[in-house]
A and B are shown apart, each in its own frame.
Chain A
Amino acid sequence: QKEVEQNSGPLSVPEGAIASLNCTYSDRVSQSFFWYRQYSGKSPELIMSIYSNGDKEDGRFTAQLNKASQYVSLLIRDSQPSDSATYLCAVNDQAGTALIFGKGTTLSVSS
């Protein structure tokens, strides 16, 4: 059974701090990794894609991938109350068409 695991949270950080969200996956052959943000009552919105080991930065967001350890993380610098949402980690499945989603980590940023 292919799995993507995330800590459900809630993860609480003060405004301006760095939020660190983690995800582990079970399928060693996975090659594509995505982070989605989902506000309450809304649909998931893609915020980051990463395919190679190392870091990928986009504004305040940094995705980190370590295929050997089978984990992917998302760092949010200078966290804002508007970052409060559930963050979903997604990994491609072995067949290559569908994605496997984690259940998400809820982030709460307090002002």
Chain B
Amino acid sequence: DVKVTQSSRYLVKRTGEKVFLECVQDMDHENMFWYRQDPGLGLRLIYFSYDVKMKEKGDIPEGYSVSREKKERFSLILESASTNQTSMYLCASSLGGTSNQPQHFGDGTRLSIL
């Protein structure tokens, strides 16, 4: 089974802090994704990566950056956390090549910015 592991289930940070969310997958997937999910807004893509050191902006990249130094690890960085970044953050991965492959999600990180 695919295993996508997010480093924290719950996280509380203060405004202005630099926040790191980590995601690791164990299935040698090329593609990795970061979403946030808010009530009534659904899943919104922040960034994705299709290869090591490669990244693409999603629909809402403002205020975020990402890092992919190794194939199995994809990090989301909130450069200066703000209260409107309080949300559920979901990491996903999929095989590369085509989008015929489904995405598999981690358990999510519920982030609160105070």
Contact = CB atoms under 8 A, between A and B. Distances in A.
B41 interface: yes
A32 B101 CA distance: 8
B106 A98 contact: no
Given A32-B100, A98-B58, A99-B99, A44 B33 contact: no
A98 B33 contact: yes
A7 to B, nearest CB: 13
Interface in A60-111: 88, 90, 92-93, 96-99, 101-104
A93 B45 CA distance: 12
A109 to B, nearest CB: 22
Most B Cβ at <10 Å: residue of A42, A88, A97:
A97
Given A97-B50, A98-B48, A101-B43, A42 B98 contact: no
A97 B32 CA distance: 10
If over half of A's interface residues share one DSSP class (helix, strand or loop), that class is named, otherwise mixed; here it is loop
Interface in A32-53: 32, 34, 42-46, 49, 51
A34 B40 CA distance: 20
Interface of B: 31, 33, 40-43, 45, 48, 50, 56, 58, 90, 98-108
12 contacts: A31-B100, A43-B108, A44-B43, A44-B90, A46-B104, A90-B103, A96-B99, A97-B31, A97-B48, A98-B99, A103-B42, A104-B42
